[in-house]
Amino acid sequence: MRKLPLKIVILVIVCSLGAPAAARGALGAAPLARQPRTLRVVTKPLEPFVIEQNGQLIGFSVDLWNQIAERLNLKYEWVEVASVTEQLKAVQTGAADVAIAGISMTAEREQRVDFSHPYFNSGLQILISTKNESMLSSTGRFLGTFAPALLTYLGIAMLIALALAHLVWLVERRTNPHFQGGYLSGIFEAIWWLLSIVANGEYGDRATRSPLKRLLTIALWLIGVILIAQFTASITSALTVQQLGSAISGPDELPGKRVATLPGTTAAQYLSDHHIAFTEVQTIDDAYQLLDRGSVQAVVYDAPVLLYYSVTRGNGSTQVVGPIFKEETYGIALPTGSPLRKTINEALLTLHQDGTYDDIYRKWFRPAK
């Protein structure tokens, strides 16, 4: 048998020893770990869910997301927008990975994005002002509302008074020199006598013994009393109607009132569905300012947001009235088909089970006294 050269033998041995190691390096070595990307979490100011304080975001939804991200070891950055509409658009287009604040879960929104399990029960409620309306403002609003009816009533009363003044003029014009200076002068004097009769119950010529003039005095005085009583009753009734009409105790009293809310919200949808006109505002703070100035009579919005305002900045000047209507729930919005949905739901369930959710809730909605 022919012997192989020594160099070839050594080369074969080296290659045979190195090949398994190379194979292990190519097939068995773990690949380099991929760095988790930073999620974009889009939110909006909404007390007490999201509050900007000294350049930092705090609030119920912020604390909840911080806990979820910590449990899932997620890196993220906040992206602020001005409305829920912008939040949902950012998630739908892929500009953001998660949206959280106080986003109501609706069937229409579910068609555009995916939602996590509900994490907060909410609904709509009504905020009104408890500040007393000034007398000048109340009078001006009353006159603006009932001026046509008042003018009609006063016009009729003046025609009746003019007719009665002619009756006095006809009785006095032949014997009383005060009524003989011409028609206009006599009618003016008759009106003066008529006012004296209504006010004092006495004929202009107090010494008269004429049965006709005395009967005329009684008749004119009674007519004047009836007209004044009717006018007073009309004014009182109108003021009562105005007072009752301005009271709001629930959603049934909203039609015909001056209402404010944010466009694109479930509150705006409710008002539109019930044909209730409303003033659109850019932020909920704008609605609070309109209510404070008396430009609107009510703000319709999410119940927890209005309740929080009424016991903090609006304490003493506002009040939440009526029951919660159109109940709804808040959820975390994600792009359709997002793989984060399942893990976020698992984290939410864990936060409920270990009591962390209750701690966050008590922090923002049941502050210690």
Report the distance separating Cα 63 and Cα 227, nearest Å.
Answer: 68
- Comparing 187 with 344, the larger pLDDT belongs to 344
DSSP 186: H
Report the distance separating Cα 325 and Cα 250, nearest Å.
Answer: 9
Correct CATH for 136-246 of 1.10.1060.10, 1.10.287.70, 3.60.40.10, 3.40.50.1370: 1.10.287.70
pLDDT digits (tens, 9 = 90+) for 141-167: 555 556 676 677 778 878 887 887 787
pLDDT digits (tens, 9 = 90+) for 66-83: 999 999 999 999 999 999
Which residue has tokens 């319709």? 300
H-helix segments, the chain? 6-23, 60-72, 84-93, 107-110, 135-172, 183-200, 211-246, 266-273, 284-293, 303-310, 340-353, 356-365
Give the number of other CB atoms < 10 A from CB of residue 242: 14
Correct CATH for 129-134+249-326 of 3.40.190.10, 3.90.320.10, 2.60.40.10, 3.40.720.10: 3.40.190.10
Helix (H, G, I), strand (E, B) or coil at 301: strand
pTM of the model: 0.59
Per-residue CA distances from 333 to 280, 327, 336, 343 (Å): 25, 19, 9, 13
**pLDDT over 90 percentage in the chain:** 54
Correct CATH for 39-119+331-365 of 3.10.20.30, 3.40.190.10, 1.20.1580.10, 3.40.50.150: 3.40.190.10
